[in-house]
């Protein structure tokens, strides 16, 4: 009888130890999962920061190219602009023929109005979102190449599912995404629709501050 009692006692002790071991294994498993999740979020944050840095660099390069192109265009057209202005002044001082004067002014003004646009550069996030579908586009450059107005270029890009942001708005969006990822609210990849919602919420939050 004493042997049976000893056996039951040993069995209970073994079961107790096994329970403690199982709890330890579960705790370690949860710790490993939490650490893996934290590392995944840290990697995502680092990826977003790298994208932000690359976009800033591309943005400045695109703006520099636009400045160079604008300067070259101005140098080419400057003599014609000066000649047009001189012609308007001469005609205004030497003719009383108002229809003729009006026609010359209209031609000169139309020539100025048709001057190509420069300097509009935007961050374009495609439908696949971040991190793989983002680039810097020169809206002005596309407008010059296609002979479409900038508003039409923007409309076409948006129709294709692109989210267009200026440099400041893109920076604010990245900041919000970093916070949301660290809090476990988002994870990569982030599609354009999710980015639009995040950007809208970010703007609303900024207005409430």
pLDDT at residue number 71: 76
pLDDT in tens, 89-105: 555 555 554 455 455 45
Angle between helix axes 2-94 and 139-146 (nearest 10 degrees) is 50
Bridge-based pairing state of the strands 121-125 and 134-138:
antiparallel
* Sheet of 134-138, strands arranged across: 134-138, 121-125, 163-165
pLDDT at residue number 199: 76
- Residue 164, exposed/middle/buried by CB under 10 A (0-12, 13-18, 19+)? middle
Single pTM value for the model? 0.68
pLDDT at residue number 207: 43
What is the chain's length? 209
Segments of the chain scoring below 50 in pLDDT:
78, 97-98, 101, 104, 107, 110-113, 207-209
pLDDT at residue number 129: 93
pLDDT at residue number 69: 86
pLDDT at residue number 82: 54
pLDDT in tens, 100-140: 545 545 545 544 445 678 899 999 999 899 999 999 999 99
pLDDT at residue number 89: 54
pLDDT at residue number 143: 93
Q: What is the mean pLDDT of the chain?
A: 77
């Amino acid at each position: 009888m004493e042997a049976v009692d000893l056996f039951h006692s040993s069995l209970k002790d073994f079961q107790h130890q096994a329970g403690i071991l199982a709890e330890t294994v579960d705790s370690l498993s949860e710790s490993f999962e939490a650490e893996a999740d934290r590392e995944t979020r840290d990697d995502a944050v680092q990826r977003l920061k790298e994208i932000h840095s690359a976009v800033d660099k591309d943005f400045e390069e695109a703006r520099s190219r636009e400045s160079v192109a604008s300067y070259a265009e101005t140098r080419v057209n400057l003599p014609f602009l000066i000649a047009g202005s001189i012609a308007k002044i001469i005609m205004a001082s030497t003719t009383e023929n108002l229809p003729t004067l009006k026609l010359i002014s209209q031609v000169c003004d139309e020539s100025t109005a048709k001057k190509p646009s420069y300097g509009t550069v935007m961050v374009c996030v495609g439908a696949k979102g971040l991190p793989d579908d983002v680039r810097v586009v020169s809206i002005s450059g596309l407008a010059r190449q296609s002979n479409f107005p900038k508003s039409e270029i923007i409309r076409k890009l948006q129709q294709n599912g692109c989210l267009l942001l200026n440099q400041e708005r893109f920076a604010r969006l990245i900041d919000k995404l970093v916070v949301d990822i660290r809090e476990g609210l988002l994870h990569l990849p982030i599609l354009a629709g999710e980015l639009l919602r995040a950007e809208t919420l970010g703007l609303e939050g900024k207005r409430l501050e």
